[in-house]
């Protein structure tokens, strides 16, 4: 069994009072209400930081996408917020091709997966979550392939229209889509999560990806907080997990 990946360290400044965690917004032009709620939260949250733990975008196949009308509005909302607070971005399985140009234009700081957050003496391990879904072997093989630097540079060298066509093909073929997203029934592997937590010296994991929000133990003395996905267009679902000195709370987005 391979060892747990080394976590990136992020130490929250002592004067911070709150950190918001969100993930799985799957922003796209087809979901305008979800975008509006996200933009409103970024504009008005009293938190010192918003950490986005993956799948901010429904799809990201290269930073040229930021020149398109909808994505430009996303960049403007992020950049506006980044002038006021810290915006952290961790890649998910939908937006792992976010590159340096988008990071620069949006003012976000990159959070590698996993990141070890130290906030007011509390250590929390942050991950999108897909890398922990070990039971889905097809997805893990696909993930290794598309996270490979050579595969990525070859893919990104293709014209944007071609990359979008490949993505559309994946989304229309259900077998390919399942490989792309992972099995919807899959959950994180608790033993692997325990190994990651032990390696990071943490007892709390925050992750998204599974779209099954909740907080529960994942082993003796270990707990996890699973983030909610957001969908205010087809459903009525959006939630922020906020960490303060007093602990975690689940709140509605600020508006
Ligand atoms: Mn995901």
For residue 207, being part of any structural domain is answered with yes
As a whole number, mean pLDDT of residues 87-100 equals: 97
Q: Which residues are within 8 A (CB) of 68 and not within 5 positions of it... i.e. 6 or more apart?
A: none
Token representation of residue 56: 């901010």
Taking the centre of ligand 1 as the mean of its atom positions, its distance from the CA of residue 188, in whole angstroms, is 12
pLDDT digits (tens, 9 = 90+) for 166-180: 999 988 887 788 888
The enclosing domain of 206 has a CATH number of 3.60.21.10
Find out whether 166 and 185 touch, Cβ atoms under 8 Å.
no
For residue 143, being part of any structural domain is answered with yes
Q: How far apart are CA 128 and CA 164, in angstroms?
A: 23
- Quote the domain boundaries for residue 220: 16-251
pLDDT digits (tens, 9 = 90+) for 20-78: 999 999 999 999 999 999 999 999 999 999 999 999 999 999 999 999 999 999 999 99
Token representation of residue 247: 């602990």
Token representation of residue 130: 């897909």
For residue 186, being part of any structural domain is answered with yes
Q: Which helix (H) or strand (E) holds 137?
A: helix 137-146
Structural domain count, the chain: 1
For residue 1, being part of any structural domain is answered with no
Taking the centre of ligand 1 as the mean of its atom positions, its distance from the CA of residue 132, in whole angstroms, is 11
Taking the centre of ligand 1 as the mean of its atom positions, its distance from the CA of residue 78, in whole angstroms, is 20
pTM of the model: 0.96
Q: Which residues are within 8 A (CB) of 94 and not within 5 positions of it... i.e. 6 or more apart?
A: 26, 54, 55, 57, 58, 59, 60, 181
Taking the centre of ligand 1 as the mean of its atom positions, its distance from the CA of residue 40, in whole angstroms, is 23
């Amino acid at each position: 069994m391979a060892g747990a990946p080394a976590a990136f360290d992020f130490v929250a400044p002592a004067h911070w009072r709150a950190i918001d965690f969100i993930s799985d917004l799957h922003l796209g032009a087809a979901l305008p209400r979800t975008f509006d709620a996200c933009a409103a939260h970024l504009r008005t949250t009293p938190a010192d930081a918003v950490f986005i733990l993956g799948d901010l975008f429904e799809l990201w196949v290269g930073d040229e996408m930021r020149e398109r009308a909808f994505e430009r509005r996303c960049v403007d909302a992020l950049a506006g917020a980044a002038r006021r607070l810290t915006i952290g971005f961790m890649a998910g399985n939908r937006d792992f091709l976010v590159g340096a140009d988008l990071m620069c234009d949006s003012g976000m700081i990159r959070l590698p997966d996993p990141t070890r957050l130290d906030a007011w003496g509390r250590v929390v391990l942050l991950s999108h979550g897909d890398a922990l879904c070990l039971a889905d072997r097809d997805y893990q093989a696909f993930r290794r392939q598309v996270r490979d630097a050579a595969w990525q540079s070859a893919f990104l060298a293709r014209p944007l229209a071609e990359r979008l066509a490949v993505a559309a093909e994946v989304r229309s073929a259900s077998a390919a889509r399942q490989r792309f997203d992972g099995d919807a029934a899959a959950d994180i592997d608790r033993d692997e999560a325990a190994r990651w937590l032990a390696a990071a010296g943490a007892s709390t994991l925050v992750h998204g990806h599974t779209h099954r929000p909740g907080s529960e133990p994942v082993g003796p003395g270990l707990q996890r907080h699973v983030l909610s996905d957001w969908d205010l267009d087809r459903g009525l679902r959006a939630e922020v997990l906020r960490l303060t000195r007093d602990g975690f709370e689940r709140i509605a987005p600020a508006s």
